[in-house]
Each structure stands twice: as structure tokens, then as C-alpha cells.
Amino acid sequence: MHQAIVFLPLVGFLIAGLFGRLIGARASELVTTGLLMISAFFAWIVFFQTAFGGHDGTVELFTWMASGKLDVTWAIRVDTLTAVMLILVTTVSSLVHLYSMGYMHEDPSRPRFFAYLSLFTFAMLMLVTSDNLVQLFFGWEGVGLASYLLIGFWYDKPSACAAAMKAFIVNRVGDFGFALGIFAVYLMTGSVAFEQVFAAAPSLMDKNILFLGHEWHAPTVICLLLFIGAMGKSAQLGLHTWLPDAMEGPTPVSALIHAATMVTAGVFMVARLSPLFELSDTALNVVLFVGASTAFFAATVGCVQNDIKRVIAYSTCSQLGYMFVALGTGAYSVGVFHLLTHGFFKALLFLAAGSVIHAMHHEQDMRHMGGLWRKIPFTYATMMIGGLALTGFPFTAGYFSKDAIIETAFVSHSPAATYAWVMTVAAAALTAFYTWRQMFMTFHGKTRADHHTFDHAHESPLTMLIPLGVLSLGALFAGMILYPYFVGHDVDHFFRESIFMASDNKILEEMHHIPGWAKWAPTVMMALGFAVAYWMYIANTAVPKALAKQNDVLYRFLLNKWYFDELYDFLFVRPTMWLGRFLWKQGDMRVIDGYGPNGVSARVIDVTNRVVRLQTGYLYHYAFVMLVGVAALITWFMFGGAH
Amino acid sequence: MTLSLAALGPALPELLLALSALALLMLGAFAGPKSTDTVNGLALAALFGALVLVLIGPAEATLFNGAFQVDAFGRFMKVLALIGAGGTLAMSVDWLKIEKQDRFEYPVLVLLSTLGMMVLISAGDLIALYMGLEMMSLALYVIAANNRDSVRSTEAGLKYFVLGALSSGMLLYGASLIYGFTGSVNFAQIAQAAREPSLGLIFGIVFTFAGLCFKVSAVPFHMWTPDVYEGAPAPVTAFFASAPKVAAMAVFVRFAMEALPNVAHQWQQIIVFVSIASMALGSFAAIGQRNFKRLMAYSSIGHMGFALVGLAAGTQQGVQGVLVYMAVYLVMTLGTFACILSMRRKDGMVESYDELAGLARTSPVKAFMLAVLMFSLAGIPPLAGFLAKYYVFLAAIEAGLYTLAVIGVLTSVVGAFYYLRIVKIMYFDEPAAAFEPMRSEPRVVLAISGTFTLLFFVYPAPLIAAAAAAARALF
């Protein structure tokens, strides 16, 4: 059954990828979607067996590499952490497959699309089921590849190609750190298998590692390097720039990869490697700091975006920051909890946004929407549920998971704890603001769409609405049901060995004893955000423009995403382009081609022309050449004197 | 001192050719133009007969006080020369008839020239060498101008004659110097006398080598080649490019090896220089040509340069390389000229290789064969031309001539360009009008030549072994 979960998507990929043209688009859709649904069904069985039945286990498939001491196997490791990821990945993926059948129905290359989706799912499953760092890296790169292919799915759009490249290259930066981290782990423990690495972890506590010419505390270096990988994949501040651009891909892709699953791989990885991260307070503080900063930063930018998908993209970035805050405080299960609930309500938001886009004939700018709730009531209702969950409306999924994170930040003893708490609470207000801004701009008020589009706005087909409904259930109830297992008293029993917490890590107990004002702070902030949004976008619609004009600098600062892209463009892209251009024009074309192939052939032609000119046709020239030849030879022997 | 007829046995092929030439001359002179076909047929028969006699004749013999010697080396080269002469004569019959240049003198002159080559190949002293050389050359001067109504053909003949006379003068002068400084004209006796290089002897060597270089058209004594190849009628050019080259190279090797083994270090320098110059010029100058015959002139200059690499080595292995090279060169040249001879449209012959455009579509088999020959001439593995080059370069490297070998390989890269350009024109350019169908003789020659070139690497042993045996005869 474990193998089936992981490899059915691969089968689907191969069928749709290799024979897609042969069997046609419809068959490709049905095959991949059907296989994923089977996979999801199995995943739920495995989830109950593992999480509640306690059947942890590893299925070894076969040896991948055996070289000296290095021994890497392909394996499927299933414990509670993996099982949680399995249900999230397979459920969201199968719903996205189903949704895509409706959303993509006009696209001519559907087999390719579904093949990529299944390939992504396979890679993601390899990632979460791996029992060693190398297989994890395989899955890591596999999802990166699928992400690249899907962002650039509409490859005739230059912006999509650019976005795909950007995603790939920025991720390479993170992957480089991740790879270094794996090397460091192998160097220090002599293994890449989780079992051995975790067993050896406590002994690393007092060890140092030589890195960049300095002796460092080994666990700190390892964890920071690994965290760089997580930052790239999970779009944390600094390496986040690819995520908003990734919205160039089709909306189902955004929902599956860039909201629910792939971007959470970094969170999963840190949780999975909790035995290592528990060794280094420094690393955890960095995680906490980066997470809190990202949560706040992305939320501020999200407030001024006008593209419906970009708002959600920044929201994702921000929520990922929240997850890292939880991890940074040592509350890994809380981070994973938010990962799970976020997976449901963010996928829901994206798919609902996709439904809006579908209804509006691929219009994505919210300034050209408004008043849509009558036209597409079901979409409106589901998006409302997603929005409520995201803002943390009481008793929705987000309320349980996000508020829990803010509480961990409050009780944490980390030096960055207060900063993190302030940032996350502020971000909660901003989250409510941009979410309601989005709802109001899209669905309420007078429409700003042109007549034709507005009149033809229509509710999406059933294949798109069913996933919305299913995810709505998750967004509403997942938090309530699962709270005890991820945050409450059953955490130890639920996760067992899959998450390691040091003996002095008591955060989960402490967070239940916080003052009431701190507990209600996020909810108040949420209400505040709602109120401001209502005032600005329903009650008094002239305010946003006036405010933007008044604080022009701030507005442009936010609109330009804190100028990260411009900064990177200046710091990295342009020098790289300059270097590349230099090597191309001067190095390759001028030196290598110039003195190499082109130069040589040009010289050959020169010589040829000269030699041919010697052949004058005059007899006396010919005779002269002969005599000169003889004379030269004679001279050579007389004076060159090689006797 | 009386020569009995039986004692002339070893020279039987030469005698056959001489008598046939005289008899056919009489036949043609008395029977008039209508006898041309008969004369052609009989001349071919005579060449074939000579070939058989060479093959069944004695393996070792010396006649006329050492002036004429028969050995394995000579037999190998004579077979090549006879094949070259016979093949080109067979291909030329129809061609000359269509071009209205069929005269009975032509086969007779080919016979006489071939006779000269045979004598040249068997030469054991300087006098026989000169006699053979002149007999061959005088006939060649005439047939170069075979199309006597054409200015270009007559110009070619005249140029060849004048420059040939100059080269003969050099050769004679060199021969007299050698005689003066060694006291003998016999190769074996020269070898004994010339143990120490003296300046006079070296002068003699330079002048004789200049004369021989002229015949193999090696740089800087090559200047006549492009003009004569282009000006002479195509079958004559084919003949020029094949048999005389073999004979001249044979006597070159024999003279160097038999008469001058003790001053090898000196003449090696000449050969190295001439070889490098020929390879380079052959490769570079050919790029500028559009006329296929003229291109083949430069091609043959280059190939003679490659063959001389083997001679420069001065070893038995090197001589073997030369022999293999000449054999392969002969076959490739005959095949290529079979194609050139059939570049005929309704309105006459064309000579620019641009006319081959799209040949792969109009006549794929011919294009394939020609492509094989071009690849082989360029020296691309595993074709015959590659193996030929391989043997000479191997010999050069084992003799320590690294510079020569490296330059040779580099020039062959340059040379590959114009051969491959022909392939590109045939396969990738828009087709020009189709040629008239090939006559049967060129067709057979092309088929044999192409197949040999293509499949030589499968079973090269017989030729390699024969060349090895022939090379051994000189040491």
C-alpha cells in the first residue's frame, strides 16, 4: 500500500506524459486523476493506521548508491509526520487534478499539464516519505523541477518563462545551502540515513566543524545550512522573490504547489530534522527571526497588491513565516499543524480565486472586479470560508493553528521572542485587512468590470466546485478536530518519535498558561483589520486613493515589494548578466571563436587567396618558381649546412 | 655478351607494349580513322596482356648490366601503373568519341607512355631512369594537346612540354653531377661510392630530386599541374593523375632507397620540405577552386605530399606506406575521374563541381559512391584513404618525424573542407538538372573504386602484405 501511494502518481505521469497524445486529453485526465484518488484513499488508510494505530515503519525498496561508507537506499518511511503530509499532499493533489479538468478544459496541451501535476505529486511524496537526506534531496529537486515546468507551462508567454527561470534559479541558491548542509551532516555523522544521523545527533553537541576557515559549532552550521535550503523552497525573506512571480503558472498549480504542498517542504524538513535543530539554539533563533520577519513583510506587501492571485501569494509567504515562527520556538507540531490547516484553506482560496478568474474570463486584476457575489454565489461562499480561516475567525482552522503560533511566540524564551510576537500580531491585523480588502474588492460594491464580462460571469462547472466544497470542510473543521493532537495534550502520543523535542523544551505546556489578553490579541487584531478594510473599501471608497497619495513613499515602497527585486537585480542579476555578456562577447566570440574556429578558417581563406594568386598562368613564372625552389634547396645545404 | 631472346624474358611485358605500340601505329596509319575502335580495343588488350605477363613473370631478374631490374617492388608498381593506364583508357573511349576527339594516335601514345613508365619503374641506373622518364613524358606532352583544336588543350601541352624540358635538364644536370662524384650511373654502385655526403653529390641529389619532384608534381615543382589538368581533355587528365604519378613515385622511391641509402639524412631534408609544402599547398589552394579537374590537380599535389611523408621516413615501413598510399590513391582517383567524365548534360560537358548540386536526389547511387570517395580522399575513417594516411604517418612517427606527421594531420584537416564541400553540395543543395546516364565503363570503374574504398578496411591484408613484400625488395 505504501508503494502504491508513492508510485501511482508516477504511473499516471508516465501514462499521460508518454502516451498523452495517443490516448487523448480526456483519457489522460481521467487516468491521472483516478490514480491520484486511489493514492489519496490509501493515504488516508495509512494515516489512520499510523497516527492512531501506531504502525510506524519503513519499507526499503532497493539500494540507490553504495560507495565506500556511503550507503543510500530508496525507502518509504512512514510515521505520523509523514502520514500527515501524505494526506495533505494526496488529498489536495487529487482535488486539484479534479479541479483542473474543469479549469484547463480549453487548453490544448492538457496531457502535458496532468503529467506534470502527477510528476510533481510523485516527487513530493518521495520527499515526504524519504528516510535519508539524499532521497529527500531527490524529492526536493523533483518538486523544484515540476514547479519550474508548471510555472512555465504556458511557455509562449515570456513572463511565464522568466518566472519559471526565476523560481528555478532562486531555489538553486537555497538548494546549494541545503546540499552543503547534507555534506556537513555526512561529514560529521558518517551517514545520511535519518536513523543513524539522529542517533549520532546528541554527540554533535560539543563538536566543531571547520567551515570557511573557521571553527564553528557543528549543529549550528549544519542547521543553518539546511535552513537556507528551507528558506529557498519555502520562500522566506531574502529568497522569497520567486513565489509571487510563480503566479504566472495556471491557478491550480498555484494552489497545489505554491500554497499547499511544495512551499511547505521547508517546514516539513525542519520538523523532520527536529533532532538536529534541537541541538542549536542559535539556529532556532535565526529560524524564529526570519519567520517573523517574513510573516510581517509579506503581509504588508499583500495589502497593496491588485492581482487577486498575488495577494494570496504574499499571504502564503506570510503564513509560511508563521510556520517558521512556530518551528523557531521549538513547537514543531504547531508548525506542522498550521502547515496542514493552511494547506486546506490556502488551496481553497487559490482554487476559489481560480474560479473567479474562470468566471471573469481570465481577468485577474481586482480593480476590474467587484459585486460578483450574486453572480457566483458558491465561489463566494467558499472563498469566504477560506478567508475566515485565513484571518483566524473563531473556530475555523486558522483560528486554532495561527493563534497557537502567536501564543508560542509569546511564551518562547528566545531572545527574538518578543520581536516575533509583535511581528506576528501585527501581521494578523494585516492579514485580516488584505483578506477582507480582497473579498470586498472582488465580490462587493459596484462592479468595475466591463458590461460584457460582468454579464457573462458564470459559476464554474461541477468539477471545479466539488474541490471547493471539500476543501471548505477542511478549512472549517480541520483545526477543531485536530487541535488536541497537534497542540493539545495528545501531541506526544500522536507524533511519538517522528518529532523530537529536547527535555528542556516545555513550550507546549507553557503556551496553555498565557494571560487572557495575550490569548485574545490576535482575534482583536483580526477584528481591527476587518474594520479598517470595511471602512476603506465599503464605507468610504475614496480613502485608499487619498491614503496612497498622502503616504506616497510608503505606498510605493510596499507596491514595489520593499524593492527586493530591484535590489537583487542590481546586486546579482546585472553583474551576472554583465559577466555572462563579457564572457560571451569577449571570451567566447572574440578569443575562442576569433582565434579558434573563425580565426583559423579566415586565415585559411587568406592563405588560399594568396596561393591561388601565385598561379598566374605565365610559363616564366612557373619556371621561376622551380628555379627558386632548387636555389633555395641548394642554399639550404650550402649554408644551413645539415651535413 | 650476345643477348638471346630467351634472356629477355623478364622484360616481356615491356616488349609486348613496345611491339603492340608499333604494330597499332602501323594499323592506324594504314587503315585510317575508321580503325580507331580496333586500335583502342587492341591497346586495351595489350595493356591487359602486359599486366598478365607482369604477374606471371619472374620475381627477381636483372638485365642489361643492371640497367633493368625486375623485383617485387617493380611488379607492385607496374601492376598499379597498368591498372591506371588501362582504366583511364577504357573510360576515355566513349568520351573521346562523343567529343569527336577520337584519334587512333591516342591509344598508341598511351601505350608508349605506359612503356616508358614500365622502364622507369624497372630502372636500375640513371640512364635507364632518364630514358624511361622521357619516353613517358614525351608521349604525355602530346596527349595533353590531344584536342588540338582547343587553345586550352594545346596551351596545356605546350606548357607541360616546356616546363618538362626544364625539369629534364635539371635531372640530367643532377645525374651528371652524381656520376661525376661517384663514378657510376648504376644505383648499386652509386650507393657504394656515396658513403660520405659531399657538397657536389648533394647538388646532384637536389637537381635529380627536382626533376623527379616535377613528375610527381610536388611543390615547388608543381606549377604546371593545375593548368595542365584543367586544360587537357578530361580522360587525359584522368590518365595524368593516375599512372604517371605511380611510375614517377616508384622511381623516386627506388632511386632514393637503392642509390642513396647512405646519404639518407641529407635527402630526407629535401623530402620533408617538399612534402610539407605539397600537403599545405594542396590543401589550401584547392579551397579556392570551382573547377573539379583543377581541384583534383591540387588534390593530387596534396596526396603526393602525403605519400612523400612515407618516403621521408626512409624506412621499410615508410616505403610500405608509400606503396599502400599509391595503390589507394590510384583507386580513388580513377573513381573520382569516372564521375568527372560523366558530368555531361545534353549541351555538353560541365567541369564545375557546383553542377553536382543535388546529385543525391537525381542519381543517389552515384552520389553515394562519390561521397565515399570524397570522404576517403579527406582521410575519414574507416575508409581506404584513412588507412593509407595512417600507414605513412605511422612510419613517420616511428622514424621520429613528429613535426612532419603533425603538420600532415593538420593540413588534412584543412583539406577535408573542400572534399566535404562537394558532399554538402551533392546532398544539401537544390538539385541542378540531371546528368546524362553514365556510360558502362565509368560506371564499372566507379563501382569497383567506390566498393574498394568503402570496404578496404574489412580485409586489407592482401594489399598490405603485397606492399610489405614489395618494400622488402628495396632493403
pLDDT one-digit tens code per residue, B375-427: 999 999 889 999 999 999 999 999 999 999 999 999 998 889 889 999 999 99
Q: How far is CA B321 from the centre of its chain?
A: 15
pTM of whole model > 0.95?
no
B425 CA to chain A: closest CA distance, Å? 19
pLDDT one-digit tens code per residue, B285-329: 888 888 999 999 999 999 999 999 999 998 999 999 999 999 999
Tell if the CB–CB gap between B210 and A633 is shorter than 8 Å.
yes
The residue among A32 and A597 whose pLDDT is bigger is A32
Q: What percent of chain A has pLDDT over 90?
A: 46
Once rounded to an integer, what is the mean pLDDT over residues B247-261? 93
Give me the amino acid identity at B28: G
Residue B226 has pLDDT above 60, yes or no: yes
Give the residue from B63, B66, B74, B159 showing the smallest Cα distance to B117. Answer: B74
Residue A444 pLDDT grade (very low, low, confident, very high; cuts 50, 70, 90): confident
pLDDT at site A361: 83
Chain A contact set for B288 (CB, 8 A): 608-609, 611-612
**Contact (Cβ atoms closer than 8 angstroms) between residue A511 and residue A411:** yes
* Dihedral angle sign, alpha carbons of residues B168, B174, B175, B176: positive
**Contact (Cβ atoms closer than 8 angstroms) between residue A91 and residue A130:** no
Residue B174 has pLDDT above 50, yes or no: yes
A627 CA to chain B: closest CA distance, Å? 9
DSSP 8-class letter at A414 = S
On the 0-12 / 13-18 / 19+ scale of CB atoms within 10 A, A529 is: buried
Tell if the CB–CB gap between B220 and A619 is shorter than 8 Å.
no
**Contact (Cβ atoms closer than 8 angstroms) between residue B369 and residue B450:** yes
B169 touches chain A (CB under 8 A): no
Apex A50 CA angle, A46 and A55, nearest 5: 110
pLDDT one-digit tens code per residue, B74-89: 999 999 999 999 999 9
pLDDT at site B6: 67
pLDDT one-digit tens code per residue, A171-192: 999 999 999 999 999 998 888 9
Residue of A nearest to B226 (CA): A615
Once rounded to an integer, what is the mean pLDDT over residues B329-335? 95
pLDDT at site A598: 83
A594 CA to chain B: closest CA distance, Å? 17
* Cα dihedral A349/A353/A354/A359 (nearest 10): 140
A interface with B, Cβ–Cβ below 8 Å: 604-605, 607-609, 611-612, 615, 617, 619, 621-623, 625-626, 628-630, 632-634, 636-638, 642-643
Once rounded to an integer, what is the mean pLDDT over residues A493-508? 84
Of A5-9, A250-254, A443-447, the one with minimum mean pLDDT is A443-447
Residue B162 pLDDT grade (very low, low, confident, very high; cuts 50, 70, 90): very high
Residue of B nearest to A611 (CA): B285
Which of B221, B287, B417 shows the shortest C-beta gap to A626?
A: B221
Query: How does DSSP assign A243-260, residue by residue?
Result: HHHGGGS-HHHHHIIIII
Of A122-126, A402-406, A559-563, B250-254, the one with minimum mean pLDDT is A559-563
Of A417-421, A503-507, B123-127, the one with minimum mean pLDDT is A503-507
Q: What percent of chain B has pLDDT over 70?
A: 99
B270 touches chain A (CB under 8 A): yes
Once rounded to an integer, what is the mean pLDDT over residues B26-43? 89
Residue B121 pLDDT grade (very low, low, confident, very high; cuts 50, 70, 90): very high
Tell if the CB–CB gap between A630 and B207 is shorter than 8 Å.
yes
3-state percent helix, strand, coil for chain B, nearest multiple of 5: 80, 5, 15
* Cα dihedral A210/A213/A216/A221 (nearest 10): -80
Residue B67 has pLDDT above 70, yes or no: yes
Once rounded to an integer, what is the mean pLDDT over residues B356-367? 90
- List, in order, residues 6 or more apart from B222 with CB less than 8 Å away: B278, B281, B301
Residue A640 has pLDDT above 80, yes or no: no
Peptide linkage before B233 cis (omega within 30 of 0): no
A137 CA to chain B: closest CA distance, Å? 45
End-to-end Cα separation, chain B, in angstroms: 29
H helix and E strand count, chain B: 19, 4
**How many CB atoms within 10 Å of residue A277?**
29
C-alpha cell at B266: 641529407
Residue A167 has pLDDT above 70, yes or no: yes
pLDDT at site B213: 94
pLDDT at site B306: 94
pLDDT at site B296: 93
CA distance B182 to B202: 11
Residue A562 has pLDDT above 90, yes or no: no
Chain B contact set for A629 (CB, 8 A): 210, 219-221
Residue of B nearest to A604 (CA): B284
Once rounded to an integer, what is the mean pLDDT over residues A539-564? 85
B173 touches chain A (CB under 8 A): no
Which of A612, A617, A634 shows the shortest C-beta gap to B288?
A: A612
A571 CA to chain B: closest CA distance, Å? 46
Task: Please name the residues between 148 and 167 in chain B that touch chain A, using a CB distance below 8 Å.
Answer: 159, 162-163, 166-167
Which residues on adjacent β-strands are paired with residue A77?
Answer: A58
Once rounded to an integer, what is the mean pLDDT over residues A380-406? 91
Of A427-441, A481-495, B375-389, the one with minimum mean pLDDT is A481-495
C-alpha cell at A104: 484547463
Peptide linkage before B58 cis (omega within 30 of 0): no
Which of B224, B269, B285 shows the shortest C-beta gap to A612?
A: B285
Once rounded to an integer, what is the mean pLDDT over residues A450-463? 84
B136 touches chain A (CB under 8 A): no
Residue A8 pLDDT grade (very low, low, confident, very high; cuts 50, 70, 90): very high
Residue B1 has pLDDT above 60, yes or no: no
Which of A622, A633, A643 shows the shortest C-beta gap to B197?
A: A643
Tell if the CB–CB gap between B159 and A619 is shorter than 8 Å.
yes
pLDDT at site A542: 84
Tell if the CB–CB gap between A608 and B285 is shorter than 8 Å.
yes
B159 CA to chain A: closest CA distance, Å? 7
Residue of B nearest to A618 (CA): B159
Residue of B nearest to A622 (CA): B223
pLDDT at site A501: 85
Chain B contact set for A643 (CB, 8 A): 197, 266
* Cα dihedral B142/B145/B147/B149 (nearest 10): -120
What is the average pLDDT value for chain B, to the nearest integer?
A: 91
B390 CA to chain A: closest CA distance, Å? 24
Chain B contact set for A615 (CB, 8 A): 223, 226-227, 285
Chain B contact set for A607 (CB, 8 A): 284
Tell if the CB–CB gap between A615 and B270 is shorter than 8 Å.
no
What is the average pLDDT value for chain A, to the nearest integer?
A: 89
Which of A608, A623, A629 shows the shortest C-beta gap to B288?
A: A608
Once rounded to an integer, what is the mean pLDDT over residues A589-614? 83
Give the residue from A154, A129, A159 showing the smallest Cα distance to A142. Answer: A129
Which of B227, B287, B414 shows the shortest C-beta gap to A617?
A: B227
pLDDT at site A557: 87
Once rounded to an integer, what is the mean pLDDT over residues B32-56? 91
Q: What phi and psi values does residue B315 have, to the nearest 5 degrees? A: -110, 170
Residue of B nearest to A639 (CA): B199
Of A93-97, A536-540, B202-206, the one with minimum mean pLDDT is A536-540
Tell if the CB–CB gap between A608 and B287 is shorter than 8 Å.
yes
